[in-house]
Amino acid sequence: MPKGLALCKVRDMRGYFALGAEGISKSGNIGTIMRSGHAFGASFVFTVNAALDLEEVNRVDTSGGQDHVPLYTYPSVSAMALPEGCTLVGVELTDDAVDLPSFRHPLRAAYVLGPERGSLSPAMQARCEHIIKIPIKFCVNVAVAAAIVMYDRMISLGRFAERPVRAGGPIAPAPAHVHGRQKVRNVDSKRMRPLLGGWE
C-alpha cells in the first residue's frame, strides 16, 4: 500500500486518543510506544510514576516521535491530568475486563497500560472508566499491547472497505465520506447570523 494512502486512512479516524503507561521501568518501551503512537496518529503519550531516560527513549524512537507527539510525565495518579471529556481506559488482564474485540472505543480516549512486570495500580484502575483486556493466554510486552490496542481502534473507528466473504482484499473501495448539513442549535445566537441569511 502506498505510504500516502496509509497516512490518509489514519487521518480519517474520528476523535483522538493518547497512550500512557504506569510504573514503567524500561525507557525503551516508552520509545517504542512513542514510535507506534506517532505512526497510528496518537495525540500525546504520557507516563505515571515512571523511571525515564529520555536519551534511551530517543534512541529507540527512530521516527522522531517527540518532535510530533507530546510526552507528558506525571509523578502519581493523583497528579495525572487529561483533557476535559477524555475517557481513561485501562488495559489490564482482570476477570471483569471487557475483551478488546467486543469493546466500543470512546471517540476521545486515553489508554493506560501497566508496568513491565506488574499490573495497573488499584488507584489507577479506580480512575479508569473502562478496563479492557487483549484476549491472549498471557501478558505480552507493554509496547506490543499498546500497538494491538491502537490497531483495534483504527479498524473500529477508521473508514475502510468492507471485508469480502472470501479470502483476499476488498472488491469495492471504501465509501467516500459525505458531510451533512450544518446544524444550527441556537437560531437566536449572533454568531449564527451569517449562516442564517446575513446580518440584518
The answer to whether 19 touches 37, Cβ cutoff 8 Å, is yes
Is the torsion defined by CA of 64, 65, 68, 72 positive or negative? Answer: negative
CA dist., res. 187 & res. 45, Å (int): 40
Is residue 87 classed as helix, strand or coil in its secondary structure? strand
Tens of pLDDT along the chain (200 residues) come to 333 334 334 445 578 999 999 998 888 889 999 999 999 999 999 999 998 888 888 888 888 888 899 999 999 999 999 999 999 999 999 889 999 999 999 999 999 999 888 899 999 999 999 999 999 888 889 999 999 999 999 999 887 888 788 888 777 777 776 767 766 666 666 666 565 565 45
Residue ranges per structural domain of the chain: 16-157
Residue 49, φ and ψ in degrees, nearest 5:
50, 50
Q: Give the CATH number of domain 16-157; options: 3.40.1280.10, 2.40.50.140, 3.40.50.700, 2.60.120.260.
A: 3.40.1280.10
Cell numbers for 89, please give them: 481506559
Is the torsion defined by CA of 16, 22, 27, 29 positive or negative? Answer: negative
Question: Interior CA angle at 108 toward 102 and 109, to 5°?
Answer: 60
Q: Which residues pair with 130 in a beta bridge?
A: 89
